[in-house]
Amino acid sequence: MALANILVHLDSSPRTAARVGLSLRIAERCEARLTGMFAERAEAHVVGTVAAWPSEHYVAARDKAKAVFAASTAALKDRAAFIDLNRGSDHEIVRRATEIARAFDLVVLGQAQDDVPVPAKLPDEVIAESGRPVLVVPYVGTYADVGARPLFAWHCERGAARAAFDALPLIKSDCEALIVEVGHKGDHRYEFSDLLVANLARHKVNARYQHVVVEDISVTDALLSAISDHSADLMAIGAFDAGWRFLFGHGSGTPQILAHMTAPVLFSH
């Protein structure tokens, strides 16, 4: 499915510019509509015993973000829109952002970062509950575009399959892709990897499959190493899959990837 409607999260932190820049490039390439959603943690303004919302601080931050977004997306004309989430608590931000995300083809969020007024669990919850592919942009680095050198984190689970094909609209024709299946000693490699490679080829993705056995390093480290070795500009991975929980050991590998990612990652669940 072609991308027609993209949602990008905005806040008052400097990293918003990186998310908007990448989202804009994708929107231009896909001729998609781009909606900026402003959401950040804030307290109501209290006068005596009466709380008033939104506070002056929130309004100022929202208006500044709206103006910067409008200037950045001017070339899109009527294909750009702005939404104010208009909530300040962690619970309400996560709940409403997840509900809004369900109405879009792709959601672009930032990696959780200390000292930023955004709920730390926003990416986890939107990935797990929105039902939409979520592209998470690291809190360091510059990413002008994605899809020239994608990496597919493969495991024989539905999430990995969904992620691989959810990523296709982001991937450039005739790109050089790498499929990495990480396993423990004695695990079987994916029996039908040749069919996966052939299918991707039909989508003009030149992919090669690699089975990696880990013993002394974690699956996270193996994937991060593969990103570096391949010079990947995008990783697609299934989120919260049972198979990944087994491989990573304690809990899902999704939080570990979210914490240590070194390139934009597309999560599908």
| pLDDT over 90, % of the chain | 81
Q: What is the mean pLDDT of residues 73-92?
A: 96
* pLDDT tens column, 251-262: 347 899 999 999
Q: What is the mean pLDDT of residues 55-84?
A: 96
* pLDDT tens column, 14-24: 999 999 999 99
Q: What distance, in Å, lies between the first and last C-alpha atoms of the chain?
A: 17
Both structure tokens of 71: 């200037």
Helix, strand, or coil here: 53? coil
Half-sphere exposure of 88 (CA within 13 A, CB side): 15
Residues contacting residue 42 through CB under 8 Å, at least 6 positions apart = 54, 55, 57, 58, 61, 88, 117
Q: What is the CATH number of domain 5-137?
A: 3.40.50.620
Tell me whether residue 9 is exposed, middle or buried, using C-beta atoms within 10 angstroms of its C-beta: 0 to 12, 13 to 18, 19 or more: buried
Considering the entire predicted model, what is its pTM?
0.93
The DSSP 8-state label assigned to residue 248 in this structure reads H
Task: Say what the pLDDT of residue 250 is.
Answer: 38
* CATH architecture classification, 150-268: 3-Layer(aba) Sandwich (3.40)
C-alpha to C-alpha distance for 151 and 163, rounded to whole angstroms: 11
* pLDDT tens column, 99-130: 999 999 999 999 999 999 999 999 999 999 99
Domain ranges of the chain: 5-137, 150-268
